[in-house]
């Protein structure tokens, strides 16, 4: 199973579409918020399932949810935008929320900075911003491959996108 992870697209359809194309064949996409409209646009471009989460800028969005708990490829996922868990300060509240849900994969966005940590028990990933990178980071997205009971999580830059 291959999971595409995007966050913080902020209306940048060009980068969003480039990331979708560069992901190749994925089984599901999780869009971690900011903007719900962008995730809805993804649904017009592909037939694969897209989980849509609300970010801090999606307050009035009718579609999407604040968090996601699901099982993909036999692993329990907890995903959210991250603003409700104070991820710009530290990851403690987010980590504990994931542990309360027995998550093996915790996904978040909001900071616009890519982050990945795998301690052998839990993978925590922020794919960075697919459409509005900050602090010199490239626009990026995540790919999680689940095969033979193993997780391989990577963050990839949107190579062919130029501002």
pTM: 0.95
- Our count of domains for the chain comes to 1
User: Domain for residue 38, yes or no?
Assistant: yes
For residue 10, tell me if it sits in a domain.
yes
Alpha helices in the chain (DSSP H): 13-23, 36-45, 92-100
Output the pLDDT for position 160.
Answer: 56
- Round to whole Å and give the CA distance between 135 and 133: 7
Domain that holds residue 133: 2-157
- Give tens-digit pLDDT for 4-52: 999 999 999 999 999 999 999 999 999 999 999 999 999 999 999 999 9
Residue range 89-123, pLDDT digits in tens = 999 999 999 999 999 999 999 999 999 999 999 99
pLDDT at 54 over 80: yes
In a domain, 162, yes or no: no
Q: Does residue 163 fall inside a structural domain?
A: no
pLDDT on residue 159: 80
Q: What is the CATH number of the domain that holds 15?
A: 3.60.21.10
What six digits make up the tokens of 80?
A: 């959210």
């Amino acid at each position: 199973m291959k999971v595409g992870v995007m966050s913080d697209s902020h209306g940048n359809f060009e980068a969003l579409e480039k990331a979708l194309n560069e992901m190749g064949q994925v089984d599901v996409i999780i869009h971690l918020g900011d903007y719900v409209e962008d995730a809805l646009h993804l649904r017009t471009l592909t037939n694969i399932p897209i989980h849509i989460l609300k970010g801090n800028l999606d307050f009035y969005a009718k579609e999407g949810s604040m968090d996601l708990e699901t099982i993909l490829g036999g692993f329990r996922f907890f995903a959210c935008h991250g603003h409700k868990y104070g991820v710009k300060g530290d990851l403690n509240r987010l980590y504990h929320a994931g542990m309360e849900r027995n998550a093996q994969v915790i996904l978040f966005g909001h900071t616009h900075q890519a982050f990945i940590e795998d301690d052998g028990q839990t993978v925590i990933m922020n794919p960075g911003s697919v459409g509005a990178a900050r602090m010199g980071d490239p626009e990026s997205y995540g790919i999680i491959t689940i095969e033979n009971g193993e997780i391989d999580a990577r963050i990839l830059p949107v190579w062919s996108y130029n501002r």
